[in-house]
Amino acid sequence: MHGTEAPSSWVQKWSHLAKPQSQVLDLACGAGRHMQYFKSQGHHCTGVDRSAEALAEAAAHGRVLEADIEGGPWPLSGQTFDVVVVTNYLWRPLMAQILTSLAPEGILIYETFAMGHEKIGKPSRPDFLLQPGELLRTFAPLRVIAYEDGYWEQPAKYIQRIVAVQQVANQAGQFCLSSR
């Protein structure tokens, strides 16, 4: 079942950016591996997935919502999160919704498959593979903290990943980040 493996090393590496007791959204959470990780760090988690079976496991780590986010309405309208985590999932029509789900100074941690992966495994359809630099272009309104795009050997995969922050303007109209 998706979401039972160890947390992504990318998510673990950048999770320290979350302020204490953050509200974390794990999108396409599966069984909740990242919910479990963030809960162990003292955060409050919400997971969204379409699999009732997977969510039955994820529920041990926070609030879960069963929703078809590709074919149905966005289940979290009007809600924002301090951290939004997306791994091994790509549905381009949701990218704008992901942006609006970030609270001011919210952290986006995103990692998924990229072009080239079709040569070595699944997913192999271009619809599910990021184009070169796509995460940078898509999340250009955010301040990029870290970005990687390429081939990794262990396990073999082509991926793109980004960590970015929703900036807020100060009274002078300048974008800034508070110290965490």
The tens digit of pLDDT for each residue in 12-57 reads 999 999 999 999 999 999 999 999 999 999 999 999 999 999 999 9
Q: Which of 85-94, 124-133, 157-166 is least confident?
A: 124-133
Res. 170 pLDDT band, cuts 50 70 90: low
Calculate what percentage of the chain has a pLDDT beyond 70.
92
The span from the CA of 180 to the CA of 154, in Å, is: 33
Q: Return left, alpha or beta for 21; rule: phi > 0 is left, psi -120 to 50 is alpha, else beta.
A: left
Res. 179 pLDDT band, cuts 50 70 90: very low
* DSSP notation for the chain: -TT-SPPPHHHHHHGGGSPTT-EEEEET-TTTHHHHHHHHTT-EEEEEES-HHHHHHHGGGSEEEE--TTTS--TTTT--EEEEEEES---GGGHHHHHHTEEEEEEEEEEEEBTTGGGTSS--SGGGSBPTTHHHHHTTTSEEEEEEEEEETTTTEEEEEEEEE--EE-TTS-EE----
- pLDDT higher than 80, residue 172: no
pTM above 0.85, yes or no: yes
Name the average pLDDT for the chain.
Answer: 90
- pLDDT higher than 80, residue 4: no
Domains along the sequence of the chain with CATH:
9-176 (3.40.50.150)
